[in-house]
Structure 1
Amino acid sequence: MGGKRKKTENEGTERDGIVSVNNESNKKIKKEILPSMIKNKEKRYEVHAKLKQQKKLEKRKKLKARDASEKHALELGQEPPPRMVPRTIENTRELDETVCKPDDEELFAGNDADEFSSILKREQTPKILITTCRFNSSRGPAFIQDLLRVIPNAHYYKRGTYDLKKIVEYANKEEFTSIIVVHTNRREPDALLIIGLPEGPTAHFKLSRLVLRKDIKNHGNPTSHQPELVLTNFTTRLGHRIGRMVQSLFPQDPDFRGRRVVTFHNQRDFIFFRHHRYIFETKESKSIDPKVKKANDGKGENIAQEKVIARLQECGPRFTLKLISLQHGTFDTKGGEFEWVHKPEMDTSRRRFFL
């Protein structure tokens, strides 16, 4: 019969159904072994540390090469190469047809006829009624005291045993523009209900990550000046409506001398609330005058220069809101019509946002 065929370098032998591969392929396999595949704990940690150090060095080399190319382009008077934009959940969000556009005439026409137009046009001054749920907690009054310092022209009324519909009727008679109800659970504020008057709408928010003013380290003392309001990233029709509702709680003529800033920042449908005041400080920086240095044979003299530095000081409180529902009209649990309701099936995609 025929003679035995010689084995090539890339060929293995087969014994009892087990294929043994040559040394070169074994080396390739060893290189692709992950730390999670190593059973020995010390060896696994050692390999993981080496891989981490190697990635760190490669990243540092890339940064140095990028900085060198930018510096070289600036020396030649050319435009530096464009930087890569990292992929984030925000810039890879799902397309939404309700995102507001600058040339949306229908949106601007609706702004002139909505429930907040009289306040935002400065035809009416905001007047806020703040109350609690029927079962109050220990941190509830402290949180309300902080809200009274933040929102101008806000008044606190004890809830007692009054029904919320009767409170709405009373607030309409006293010409309040909004009602804020602080709901508590297990001695902790966990929800906010904002009711626009006289015709609504009603927004229900989940409240979380509350830090009171007294618990913030090195907190500032807010003045009685009307604050400047900053709203960011309310991009959709729903977000635009929520932003106008929040905006209607504050006067539209801020007093910039008070240096107070109230921020509502929307990120991934979570609204982060912050209250700051900015401070201007003058600091002296020493520099050597080159003319004096030449005259004194290299021995320069220090010249004091004053620089104005601006910094932020947090006044508190600090909390996060998440929209649960938006209802037409004032509060009505039985016959109310909802504009938008958050449901669990809406959270199937991490890149789908509604505000």
Structure 2
Amino acid sequence: MLRRQIRERREFIYRKSVEHKQRALQEKRDIVRNAVDNNGSLPTHLKKEALELVEGSYWGDQDDTVDDEYRWAGCEDPKVVITTSRDPSSALKRFAKEIKLTIPNSQTVNRGSHDVKSIVQACKGANVTDVVFLNETRGVPDSLIVSHLPHGPTCFFSLNNVVMRHDIPHTEHMSEAYPHLIFHNLDSKVGKRVTTILKHLFPVPKPDSKRVCSFTNTEDFISFRQFTHKTGEGGEVELNELGPRFELRPYSIILGTVDIQKACDSEWSLRSYTNKKKNILSVE
């Protein structure tokens, strides 16, 4: 079992490295093609291989890379496990329960004395697609980790302004319908990657579902809201918030699972010297 996992992990890393080389080559081809079409100047570092890139640019872009991490997305509903840090407070337990109600086909697992590695290995054996870890500081939920199985990626989020369902007035009973998802202002490379990780936690909804989950990016903080909608007598759409509400801010994405994060390559991370004026999750 362990040898098979090591072999599959090695093959997966090799495929990802090949995709990375192909993506870098395609970016060079796009630069050269734009320079030729617009009669512009070529970058200095591409002048030596410009002729070869031009010849391959008319055929190279037909190779569409397929993300092996989510190759079965849409074929089967995701199976998500939600757990907490050790010795969780009552507030964190309640928040984990509300996340379970938010994500269909998910279940909560008591952490107990188990370490992260044993939980991830058990989830892999049970064909779990994603595992979510919730952490806290002094009884306040402040961290969320989403790890896709069996080979990653793993995204680390900080949690801010968490409001539970019972703190929101006039909330209805939680609908069990699969929700429609709205992702707004997440159009950069990192934003699209975060969108991919989050949207594959949810199964495909029915067209007539009245439940909506929105992820709205504002200055690199993703605000989560959950609503049900209905049409009033005058034809106006009425929204009723279900809760919970919170804000997510990603600070790291690694190419692997959370139990081996020290051995995984970093796809992106928020550094202390990152330009704060430049948006990370959106183009504008």
TM tier, smaller: 0.7 to 0.9
Distance in 1 between residues matched to 2:177 and 2:250, nearest whole Å: 29
Does residue 142 in structure 1 map to residue 94 in structure 2?
yes
Percent identity between the aligned chains? 30
* CA drift at 1:238: 1.6
Distance in 2 between residues matched to 1:144 and 1:189, nearest whole Å: 10
Q: 1:263 pairs with 206, 214, 219, which one? A: 214
Q: How does 1:151-190 map to 2 (within 5 A)?
A: 151-190=103-142
Aligned partners of 2:180 and 2:209 also within 8 Å: no
Query: Residues 263 and 134 (structure 1 numbering): CA distance in 2 closer, same or farther, change over 3 Å?
Result: same
* CA drift at 1:354: 4.2
Aligned to 1:317: 244
Q: How does 1:1-355 map to 2 (within 5 A)?
A: 109-110=64-65, 112-119=66-73, 122-252=74-204, 254-282=205-233, 307-331=234-258, 332-346=260-274, 348-355=275-282
| Count of residues in Structure 1 that have an aligned counterpart in Structure 2 | 223
Distance in 1 between residues matched to 2:62 and 2:266, nearest whole Å: 20
Aligned partners of 1:225 and 1:257 also within 8 Å: no
Q: TM-score normalised to the size of structure 1?
A: 0.60
Aligned partners of 1:222 and 1:277 also within 8 Å: no
Aligned partners of 1:280 and 1:310 also within 8 Å: yes
Q: What SS is found at the alignment partner of 1:235?
A: coil
Cα RMSD of the aligned pairs, angstroms, is 2.0
Q: TM-score normalised to the size of structure 2?
A: 0.74
Larger Rg: 1
Q: Which amino acid aligns with 1:173?
A: G
Q: Which amino acid aligns with 1:109?
A: D
Q: What SS is found at the alignment partner of 1:115?
A: helix
Distance in 2 between residues matched to 1:342 and 1:204, nearest whole Å: 10
* CA drift at 1:113: 2.6
Deviations 1:109-149 (A, max 9, x none): 23x33312311xx2222000000011311211111111111
Query: Residues 197 and 227 (structure 1 numbering): CA distance in 2 closer, same or farther, change over 3 Å?
Result: same
Deviations 1:124-182 (A, max 9, x none): 22000000011311211111111111110001100011111111111011011000000
Aligned partners of 1:227 and 1:256 also within 8 Å: no
Query: Residues 185 and 280 (structure 1 numbering): CA distance in 2 closer, same or farther, change over 3 Å?
Result: same
Distance in 2 between residues matched to 1:107 and 1:184, nearest whole Å: 47
Distance in 2 between residues matched to 1:312 and 1:319, nearest whole Å: 18
Aligned partners of 2:217 and 2:281 also within 8 Å: no
Higher alpha-carbon deviation: 196-205 or 130-139? 130-139
Aligned partners of 1:192 and 1:204 also within 8 Å: yes
Q: Which amino acid aligns with 1:224?
A: E
Query: Residues 308 and 107 (structure 1 numbering): CA distance in 2 closer, same or farther, change over 3 Å?
Result: farther
Q: What SS is found at the alignment partner of 2:101?
A: helix
Q: What SS is found at the alignment partner of 2:122?
A: helix
Distance in 2 between residues matched to 1:130 and 1:212, nearest whole Å: 17
Deviations 1:218-275 (A, max 9, x none): 12222211111111221112211110111110012x1344410011112221111000
Aligned partners of 1:201 and 1:330 also within 8 Å: yes
Give unmatched runs, 5+ long, in structure 2: 1-26, 28-59
Q: What SS is found at the alignment partner of 1:109?
A: coil
